[in-house]
Each structure stands twice: as C-alpha cells, then as structure tokens.
Structure 1
Amino acid sequence: MDNADYAAVALRIANADLSDLDAVRAALHDEPWWADRLAEPDLPVLRAVADGLRRALDALVADDGETVLAEINELLAEHPPRPRLSGHGGRNGNPNWHVHVAGPDAPAVDEVAAAAAWGLAQGVVQHGTTRWGRCEADGCETYFLDTSTNQAKRFCSPRCANRMHVAAFRARRRA
C-alpha cells in the first residue's frame, strides 16, 4: 500500500457510516485484510479516529493551518505508525514491495487507525492544505481530495455534480 492509498483510507474512514461492523467493512472493502479481522469492540476506536479525521479535514477545508497541525499530530500520537517493509503477495517469485504501518501481529484496528492518521499527514505533505474539500451538493457532506489540474472540484463525485447541475437546470427552466 502506498501513501496515496493511505490518504484514501483516511477519507473513507472520515466519510464512513461507522454505526455497525457491516458498515465499517463496506467502507474498507478495498482492504479485506483489515475489514475481515475487525470486530465489534473495535468500533469505538474507529469512531474516535473518524472524529479526529473530521476535525482535521474541517480545518483543512477552512484553511486553518494551526488546527490542521494540532489535529493530525494528535492522531499520529494516539495511533503512531510503526512502518515496516513487506514483500508478500508478488507474482512469479517477485515480491510486491510495500510498507505496512503496523507490526505483523498488530490488531487490525491499530493498523487501520495508524494508516488513516499517516495517510492524512502524508496527504497534506504531498498535496498541501488547499486541495481538500467538502461536497457542495445538497445533503452530502463527503470530504474529498481534489487532484484535478485546475483545482476547481466542488463535488465529491460525478453523481453529486450531476444531481446539482440537473437541479439548477430545472430551476432555471421553471423561472
């Protein structure tokens, strides 16, 4: 897993419905090695991580650098990454080199929390503080990372953008 993937994990946890284990597993569908190992007692930890991620993301959207620094550093202190190089999962005898953020025997919740904290920190290092946003569609509060060339992303997905554009078009036609 690379840093870009860890930033995606941070966003998925921040945006996830963490009401029950099935919802958490759905949010982590791209990481079955974590999702399958999570248990009900892990939910309070993940909810606390998500709250910290949301505070940091709100600060990023508001361009409040001091709060970004404090919130992300708090997440890193509470859920420190313990990086280790891994080479499993390759093909034809060639290892698939990547970095894990927790030890081999760490509980899945520890690795998810560390990955989310590390991912958000690396996302800020890689992309700065101006490329983070919150969807402007009515009823959607999804956080996103804008990697577009013109940095003009306003919606989390084409679905939200289309919904808002169709609503605006219909409103203009009525008027």
Structure 2
Amino acid sequence: MPTSSRSSRPLVFAMTVCSIALGLMGCAQKPVTENVPPPIFDQGAVVPLDMHHAQNALDWAGTYQAVLPCQDCPATAISVQLRPDMTATVRERRLGTPADQGSPQTYQGPFTFGEAPNANLISLSPANEQLPAYRFFVSEGWIELRERATGAPLIQNSLYRLRQINLQ
C-alpha cells in the first residue's frame, strides 16, 4: 500500500496549489473608480419626445391621388401635391357631370402641421379664411381627407384616403 500513497501525492499537491491560486485570485483588488469622470453625453443628439411627429418623421412631401365619394355626384377625382417648402396644390374634378369637361377646381397655397396632439394633421388655409380649405391626416404613404372645421375623421374614413404616388 505504500506505493498507492506515493502516487496520490502529486495529485494532492496539484490540488493544493490550484486551491491557493484560486483563493488568491478571489482576493484580487477591485479596479479603482473613485477618480474616473462620468461619461459625457452629447446633449445635441437627444431628441425630445414631442419632436417626433409627421413633419419630421414621415416622407410626406409628394403627390397623392384618389377617387373619393361625393354627395351630389358619382365621385370626385382629387390630386394633392405637398411640397417641402410647405406649399400645396389641390386639384378636384367631379366625375359623371357636365363639369368633367371643364377645368378642375384648384387650390394653391401654404399649409401648416398641427400642434400636439394633432401633429399629424395638416391644414391648407387661404389667407383670408377662418376655416381651412382642406384638412388631411398624414401617415406613411397616404393622407386622409378630414372634416374641415375640427379635423375629425369622415364617416368610413378609409374611403377618403389618397395614396402617395411619388416622393418629392
């Protein structure tokens, strides 16, 4: 039996050395953080939450078209062009009437985006008018005609959506 105790001595010695090494590693000093300056954040890169709305978050500039329901005619063809300089052109033509042969009704002028919580609404307003000529809800790839006075959705609002056909 004396030979078996000799063969286990190197193993016991190795285990003892490993235990001591692991114990010393656990006692290692933590890195000093007392004089480390706090991280610097670029305040210019922070975007306030209320600044994220249709005007700066969507590709709204472009041309939109649709054929919309009409109360006193079969339908109305409408084309809306919104430009990056905040001007718009709207062309409307009533379909199925003798006026089809004439020129469309046209609005040209400035538009503005609403304030929160209506930041997705635009109003196309002539200079001397109290009510906007048009109001639209702006979304990605489409706009929706809204009630002129309040901006409320029209009945069956999906029928009043104009699809974006090109970007500017």
Superposition TM-score, scaled by structure 1 size:
0.22
Structure 1 or 2: larger helix share?
1
Structure 1 or 2: larger strand share?
2
Largest Rg, 1 or 2: 2
Superposition TM-score, scaled by structure 2 size:
0.23
Higher RCO (C-alpha 8 Å, min separation 6): 1
